[in-house]
Amino acid sequence: MMRLVRRQIPIGVVIVTSVIVMSDYFFKITGTGPLVTMLTNWGIILTAFTLGFGAINLFYLHTRHIRRRTSGQWFFSIWLLLMVVVFAGTGILTGATSSTYTWLYNSSYFALSATVYSSLGFYMTSGIYRSLRARNIEALLLLITGTIAVMRNAPALAVAAPILIDMDKWLSEFVVTSAQRGIMIGAALGAIALGIRTLTGRETGFLGRLTEAEREG
């Protein structure tokens, strides 16, 4: 009975859902439209639910850090939970698009996240200075392509030396695109294999932790 509830019913649900959604995507079978719309809307609701679930999990994890006074962590946990309460409280009381909430977002989270992302430029510059050196053939190739890309992306340099645009275009269209295609096709084949394993009930990772007996199946 336990095996039926924990393994076979979930796998059955996944198989039936996948077959319906995939049939609609690939074959446009008449009559399945409303059912697929309902299923995808359930998907939206479920992912929205996971946001709330994540918030509860966050509280559970960080209140434990605070209770245990985890070294180097507990005061950050207090700050995190305080911010969650402030943002959630403001959003619930005034609305997530109110001027108060927008002000709070713009003057704290937005400013900080833009700053952190922008600061990458400094690390990258330092990294380029130290690592982009022609130590061997491979490094020389990286140096040449990297320098072309950097120079082409500087608008005034591209105007001064239009050949940079052609060189960058050739690199993008042939070298980058073909390499990227290889990666994408490889990943797609992996995804197809995972899909087939899931559809045939061989992939059970999404069921969470299983006992050895269940695993052996």
Partner 1 sequence: MTTTTQKKSIWDRLEAVPREALYALLLIFFIIPMVNPIGFPVPISDEVRRWYNTIDALPSGSAIMIDFGYSGGGEPELGPMAVAVYHHIFSRKAGLKAICMSTSIEGPLLWDKAMAEVNPSRYGANYGKDYIHIGYISGGEIAMASIGKDLRAAVSTDYKGVSLDTFSIMQGIANAGSFQLLICYTTGGDQSEGWVRQWYTPYKTPYLCSVLAMMVPTMLPYQKAGQIISVTSGAQAGQMEVLVKVPARGIKSADVITMTHLLVVGFIVLGNIAYYAKKFSGGSK
Distance CA 172, CA 195 (A): 32
Instruction: Specify whether the CB–CB gap between 11 and 201 falls below 8 A.
Output: yes
Among 18, 37, 57, 211, binds partner 1 (CB under 8 A): 37
Contacts of 35 (CB under 8 A, 6+ apart): 20
Q: How far is the CB of 64 from partner 1 (least distance, A)?
A: 26
Q: How far is residue 111's CA from residue 121's CA, in Å, rounded to a whole number?
A: 16
Q: Does 211 bind partner 1 (CB under 8 A)?
A: no
Taking the complex as a whole, the smallest distance from the CB of residue 1 to partner 1 amounts, in Å, to 32
Q: Which of 121, 208, 213, 216 binds partner 1 (CB under 8 A)?
A: 121
| One residue of 30, 71, 118, 136 binding partner 1 per CB under 8 A | 118
Tokens of 110: 């937005």
Per-residue contact flags (x/-) with partner 1 for residues 137 to 166, judged by CB under 8 A: ------x--xx--xx-xxxxxxx--x--x-
Q: How far is CA 71 from CA 58, 75, 79, in A?
A: 18, 9, 15
Among 134, 192, 193, 194, interactor with partner 1 by CB under 8 A: 134
Residue of 8, 113, 200, 211 that binds partner 1 (CB under 8 A)? 113
């995808």: which residue's tokens?
A: 40
Based on the shown chain and the rule CB under 8 A, indicate whether residue 184 belongs to the binding site for partner 1. yes
> Residue 23 interacts with partner 1 (CB under 8 A)?
no
- Contacting residue, 14, 15, 36, 199, with partner 1 by CB under 8 A: 36
Q: Is the dihedral of CA 157, 160, 162, 164 positive or negative?
A: negative
Contacts with partner 1 by CB under 8 A: the residue count is 59
Q: Are 177 and 171 in contact (CB under 8 A)?
A: no
In this complex, which beta carbon is closest to partner 1, that of residue 3 or of residue 135? Answer: 135
What's the Cα-to-Cα distance from 150 to each of 89, 164, 177, 212, rounded to whole Å? Answer: 45, 10, 18, 54
Q: Which stretch binds partner 1 (CB under 8 A): 60-68, 72-80, 105-113, 209-217?
A: 105-113
How many Cβ atoms are within 10 Å of 152's Cβ, its own excluded?
Answer: 21
| Cα separations in angstroms, 10 against 13, 14, 131 | 5, 6, 50
Residues making contact with partner 1 (CB under 8 A): 25, 33, 36-38, 40-41, 43-44, 46-48, 51, 95-97, 101-102, 105-106, 109-110, 113-114, 116-118, 121-122, 125-126, 128-130, 132-135, 143, 146-147, 150-151, 153-159, 162, 165, 172-173, 176-177, 180-181, 184
